[in-house]
Structure 1
Amino acid sequence: MGRKKKKVTESPEDPLNISQSVESVINHLSPSNKETIMVTLHGATNLPACKDGSEPWPYVVVKTTSEEVKNQNSKAVTSVPAEPTKAPTWGDTVEVEIQAEGAGQEDVVLKVVDNKKKEELLSYQIPIKYLRVFHPYHLELVMPNQSEKANEATAKTKLYATVVRKGSFIPCYDGCNYTALEVFLRRVNEPLVNNPSPMVVIARVVPNYKEFKMNQDPVSLGLPITPLSFPIPSMTNFDVPPVSQNGCPQLSKPGGPPELPLWNQSFLFQGRDGATNFSEDTALVLEYYPSSAMKGGESWTLSKPLGISVLPLKSRLYRKMLTGKGLNGLHVERLPITDTKLKTINGEAPMVDLSFQLLSSEAYMTATG
């Protein structure tokens, strides 16, 4: 899984095509009898130079080991940065499909490729059997850089990606009345006057918001990054802990333009993670970050939100859903963004528009805008 010499035949994708094919409407389920591996490539640091010593112009090809063995071209390809760089930012989401019965024997392969010469710079393999279905893994893939001294911090190349293994149905778990809670985040309601860049959102459902807020520190905010050391990652790195007080954070695509961010993004929170246990303490928490925070630097982190929205998921809200239109969902038009310096054109703190629904069956349709 180290550096290869063979040429790569896949070419980078147009960013607009990637956005339209995957990110605009995310379907949380794979087709029947199949599994889908969804990979969001955030960025990388300290990529190796090309063989001739030149700066790489990198993109990523995602494929399965079956496609690799059969020399099949993959359609899961990111775009390229505007110019050559060793620290690219992509923000692209791509998918590969596999037959469900063969998932245990497959790996998902992430290849970093130079666009100029179609030269493979790095390759990472992740056994699909290690991935818990529907759990979002926010990964830091670490590979020793052969061109540097092994004992230096700069000797490690790091690729940042979120990987989700999706099945064709959501399993029911004992003790859960519903399989999942789907949250659909639409937009900021009023134009902003002091927001310099598109925003990304980290969404989570926490079992006890008071405890979450009281114990809030840099570790609980942002994304929990799981480091994986290659060429052989440990299976224990993929273990998912029991319900965490920090919830199970998920990351949105960037919402723009800066003056009026629009996401139209769906998040799926599992009943097994406590997301459907409406109580006096449970809450949906949205953290807003500038997308520029994901660019450059030695690590890919989000630690200082521009603001936070909190929607208590109390039992009376649950009853309201049941006495309304069944499980077709509730629409919250004006959820405030608090703890923020952001202002609208009216000089007020901004608000966001979202809806959510409980999912009680094992098959369902994704919410639409």
Structure 2
Amino acid sequence: QPWLSPQVTEGPEDSPDTTQTVESVISHLSPSNKETITVTLHGATNLPACKDGSEPWPYVVVKTTSEEAKNQDSKAVTSVTSEPTKAPIWGDTVTVEIQAEDVGREDVILKVVDNNKKEELLFYQIPIKYLRVFHPYHFELVKPNKTGKANEDTAKTQLYATVVRKGSFIPRQVDGNHRALEVFVRGINEPLINNPSPMVVIARVVPNYMEFKVSQLNQDPASLGLPFTPLSFPIPSVMNFDVAQVSQNGCPQLSKPGGPPELPLWNQSFLFQGRDGATNFSEDAALVLEYYALTSMKGGESWTFSKPLGVSVLPLKSHLYPEMLTGKGLNGLRIERLPITDTKLKTINGEAPTVDLSFQLLSSEVRPSLLHNCWPCSGLGSGLQGW
């Protein structure tokens, strides 16, 4: 079917503004009785040419199988690249919504489309039931070449995307009340004099920071940037969707781009699951924030991040735990001027920059009114009313 290049009716969105606002924060929870699939399209390599041999001018359409069967247009469409290319970079996040009862029979479809001729260049289909709720999957979607053989030496087409399946409530922990840790990163505090592009943040909670650093020094791919899981099509294996109980390298998440370059602002909320070990405060655990130039995301033979511009590390020591359970914890525990280290970034005062962040534990006892009033930039908002 993909090689027939069917016509696509959806058109691309306008290019997004990299300056984030509170209103642009995407909710962590789906509406009641529904599930939301959030897809961030990072980029692709070795896209096929159009039928007439011309260079593609690509964008991506995301929809459900039921929308596809009914020929319904999807609103989940990325922007188009600035010029024709076989190695696009998008960085756009789109969402589709399904009824919770339909999860077992719905798939999410990703189509890469040429903007000039509306030709369908690529078609991927992922069963939603395979996705663990709230886990951020970073996929390398691998398509066989036109001979149908995925293992030939010729360059394979690869699409890079992060997919998150969101439910209307956070699963309860078997061994405790705390379901998740929410971290809110505002932005760089001081104007920068040597940052040429918007930035993204990769955030993770690791159970043992020293062991994590050893993994990075050893160039363990799971500890560097966004580790991508290959998915081979047309039929991906259910084994590719397995998730380790507690990962030594955490479950990294990627922010939206933050701009302008001289003072990046993200207003980004990250949700880390208690079942991934994110609520197990200890002397070794840490929140790790890595900052990357948006231009460091590059295509070519592979798609990856280059070296980070800097790193912030917040030890999640045991003494923070009772602080977050006291009255002031209802406002979120605020950390001001957390340093960005291992960096060449400089502020107008010639110093290394800092960031402010807030975080809080989420449990079955937290009332939605408190979260909504005291965590104004949170991605949870009123969606917690189903608890």
The aligned residue for residue 25 of structure 1 is 25
* Paired letter, 2:186: R
Distance, in Å, in 2 between the alignment partners of 1:344 and 1:181 is 30
Q: CA deviation at 1:155?
A: 2.9
| SS of 1:215 mapped into structure 2 | helix
Distance, in Å, in 1 between the alignment partners of 2:45 and 2:191 is 34
CA contact (8 A) 1:146 1:155 kept: no
TM-score scaled by length of structure 2: 0.90
Alignment of 1:29-40 (within 5 A): 29-40=29-40
| SS of 1:202 mapped into structure 2 | strand
Alignment of 1:6-21 (within 5 A): 6-16=6-16
How big is each residue's C-alpha offset from its partner over 1:91-130, in whole Å with a ceiling of 9 and x where there is no partner? 1000000010111111100001111111111100000011
Q: CA deviation at 1:150?
A: 6.7
Alignment of 1:202-217 (within 5 A): 202-216=202-216, 217=218
| SS of 2:328 mapped into structure 1 | coil
Q: CA deviation at 1:19?
A: 8.7
Distance, in Å, in 2 between the alignment partners of 1:18 and 1:197 is 10
2:341 equivalent to 1:338? yes
The aligned residue for residue 299 of structure 1 is 302
How big is each residue's C-alpha offset from its partner over 1:243-284, in whole Å with a ceiling of 9 and x where there is no partner? 011111001111111111111111000000111111111110
Task: Please report the RMSD computed on the Cα atoms of aligned residues, expressed in angstroms.
Answer: 2.2
The aligned residue for residue 199 of structure 1 is 199
2:257 equivalent to 1:257? no
* Paired letter, 1:207: P
Label 1:19 to 1:67 Cα distance change in 2 as closer, same or farther (>3 A). farther
Q: Mark the runs of 5 or more structure 1 residues left unpaired by the alignment.
A: none
The aligned residue for residue 350 of structure 1 is 353
Q: CA deviation at 1:151?
A: 6.1
Q: CA deviation at 1:153?
A: 4.3
| Identity of matched residues, % | 79
How big is each residue's C-alpha offset from its partner over 1:35-56, in whole Å with a ceiling of 9 and x where there is no partner? 0000000111110010011111
| SS of 2:267 mapped into structure 1 | strand
Distance, in Å, in 1 between the alignment partners of 2:224 and 2:16 is 30
Distance, in Å, in 2 between the alignment partners of 1:285 and 1:146 is 42
Q: CA deviation at 1:336?
A: 0.3
How big is each residue's C-alpha offset from its partner over 1:61-101, in whole Å with a ceiling of 9 and x where there is no partner? 00000001111111100110111111111110000000101
The aligned residue for residue 138 of structure 1 is 138
Label 1:53 to 1:149 Cα distance change in 2 as closer, same or farther (>3 A). farther
Label 1:226 to 1:141 Cα distance change in 2 as closer, same or farther (>3 A). same
* Paired letter, 1:78: T
Alignment of 1:178-197 (within 5 A): 178-197=178-197
Alignment of 1:303-318 (within 5 A): 303-318=306-321
The aligned residue for residue 243 of structure 2 is 240
CA contact (8 A) 1:148 1:155 kept: no
The aligned residue for residue 55 of structure 1 is 55
The aligned residue for residue 368 of structure 1 is 376
2:225 equivalent to 1:222? yes
Greater alpha carbon shift after TM alignment, 173-182 vs 29-38: 173-182
The aligned residue for residue 92 of structure 2 is 92
Label 1:336 to 1:215 Cα distance change in 2 as closer, same or farther (>3 A). same
2:167 equivalent to 1:167? yes
CA contact (8 A) 1:282 1:313 kept: yes
Q: CA deviation at 1:152?
A: 5.1
CA contact (8 A) 2:5 2:51 kept: no
Distance, in Å, in 2 between the alignment partners of 1:228 and 1:76 is 22
CA contact (8 A) 1:38 1:164 kept: yes
Distance, in Å, in 1 between the alignment partners of 2:247 and 2:57 is 39
CA contact (8 A) 2:40 2:163 kept: yes
Q: Mark the runs of 5 or more structure 2 residues left unpaired by the alignment.
A: 378-387
CA contact (8 A) 1:190 1:260 kept: yes
